[in-house]
Structure formats: C-alpha cells, structure tokens
Amino acid sequence: MRLVLVGPPGAGKGTQAQFLAAHYSIPHISTGDIFRANLKAGTPLGVQAQSFMDRGELVADSVTNEMVKDRLTHDDVANGFLLDGFPRNVAQAEVLRAILAEKATPLTAVLELSIDDAEIIGRLSSRRTCKDCFQPSVGVDKCPLCGGDVYQREDDKAEVIARRLEVYAEQTAPIISFYRNEGLLITVSATGKVEEITEHAISALSRVS
Ligand code: AMP
C-alpha cells in the first residue's frame, strides 16, 4: 500500500495516519513531524524550516522534496508507506510522481479527509502536541502515547491557523483535482468518531488495493 493522506490542517491526518499505518504495517511518514524533529534537534534543516512553520507557510519545495526523496530510499518503505503532509502543492505532487515512476512503484491511492472550516478551527485551537513523539491530543497534560509533556504548537495559535487554512485552499487543495484526474482519489468524511473514520477509510481502500 503506497498511500498519500490529504486534508486541511486539523482534519485528523496524523491520528488517522497512525491507525492506517499500523493496519497496513507500513511506515507513517509525516513531513511536519520530520521538520519538528529537526527543529528539536537544532539541525540546519530545522533552523531553515522554523520561520516558515511558525508562520503557517510552506517550507521551500527544494528543501521538502529532497527530504522526502531521501526518506523514500530507506529500507522500511519496501512494502509501502503512508505519506502525511506531503505533497502540499501540485509541484510536489509532480515530483513525487517522478520519484515513484523511477522506481516503478506508483501510488496505490490518495485518501482525502474532508471537513468544514468551522470544525477545523475549534479542533486546532484546543489541540496540544507531544514534545517527544509529536502525538496530537486534546484536554490532557501528558501525552497519551508516551507520557511526554504536551505543548501548543506555535502554528496552532488562532492567527496562524487562519493563514494555514488560506495556504491549504490556495496551494494544497489543487492537488485534489490533480489526483482525481489520475484516478487515485478516495474521499472520506473526517467528521465523527476516530474509529469510524478509520473503518470507512479501510473499507474504501479495500476496493482499490
Ligand atoms: P503539519 O504537521 O503537516 O501540519 O506541518 C507543519 C508545517 O510544516 C507546515 O505548516 C509547513 O510549514 C511545514 N510542512 C510540512 N509538510 C510540508 C510540505 N509538504 N511542504 C512544505 N512545508 C511543509
């Protein structure tokens, strides 16, 4: 299963990605998590990405594409992968198509999580993120997965959320039609219980894989 997960910030991509990656036994590759890990470790990549991330803007394609290209050379992607947060624009989608074409391993499907803007804003402003494993959670002091401390991401603050939604609408939403035209798009509603959304996704994906 070679899967891309797409949807606006706050649609629950990270949460669904975890369940889906476990279900298909494939690595969950989140470009946001890779940037955050680099930021935490103080690497040059993290330093380069930080100002874009804090403002809710996209990190430069050249930087992001290289990072993903490198990640897709690791052994653990031999049986597939789940990409979460990449591609974020049509240029990145084209680069991904070229990387995969070179290896003759095209995408199996692109799963879109669809949700209204009003619900997104409520979800994101109450979201907290683990400092250690980046797991998102709501209403807790410690990470439910690893027990680490949680914090509010700079880009989950109200003013930055608005910009992230604009960036999604302007730059990321066009990849939906791109993938629809490629015959890869599957859309499921991201509203409701987490387990039900996962079930709908798995059932829709069983029809294409
Ligand atoms: P996320 O955790 O997916 O919401 O990503 C957090 C931030 O990381 C984004 O707002 C961007 O600044 C950056 N980022 C993540 N993925 C990408 C990408 N594919 N292209 C450019 N920037 C990205």
Which CATH code for domain 2-114+172-205? 3.40.50.300
Q: Does ligand 1 lie within 6 Å of residue 64's CB atom?
A: yes
Q: Is there a contact between 190 and 114 (Cβ–Cβ < 8 Å)?
A: yes
Cβ of 127 below 6 Å from ligand 1 = no
Q: Give pLDDT, residue 180.
A: 98
* 189 membership: H or E segment, kind and range: strand 185-189
Do the beta carbons of residue 112 and residue 204 sit within 8 Å?
no
* Coil/strand/helix, residue 75: helix
Say if ligand 1 is within 6 A of residue 56 CB. yes
pLDDT of res. 123: 87
pLDDT digits (tens, 9 = 90+) for 162-186: 999 999 999 999 999 999 999 999 9
Ligand 1 center–CA 60 separation, angstroms: 10
Q: What pLDDT shows up at residue 119?
A: 87
CB 168 within 8 A of CB 56: no
CB-ligand 1 contact for 155 (6 Å cutoff): yes
Query: Which sequence positions are flagged as catalytic?
Result: 13, 88, 127, 153, 164
Task: Return the pLDDT at 85.
Answer: 97
DSSP E strand boundaries for the chain: 2-6, 28-30, 81-84, 109-114, 127-130, 136-138, 150-151, 185-189
The pTM score is 0.91
Q: Whose CA is nearest to atom 2 of ligand 1?
A: 32
Nearest to 116 by CA among 18, 189, 207, 198: 189
Confidence at residue 121, expressed as pLDDT on a 0 to 100 scale = 85
Residues of the chain predicted below pLDDT 50: none
Which residue out of 5, 58, 171 has the highest number of ligand 1 atoms within 8 Å of its CB and is therefore the one to mutate? 58
Q: Domain residue spans in the chain?
A: 2-114+172-205
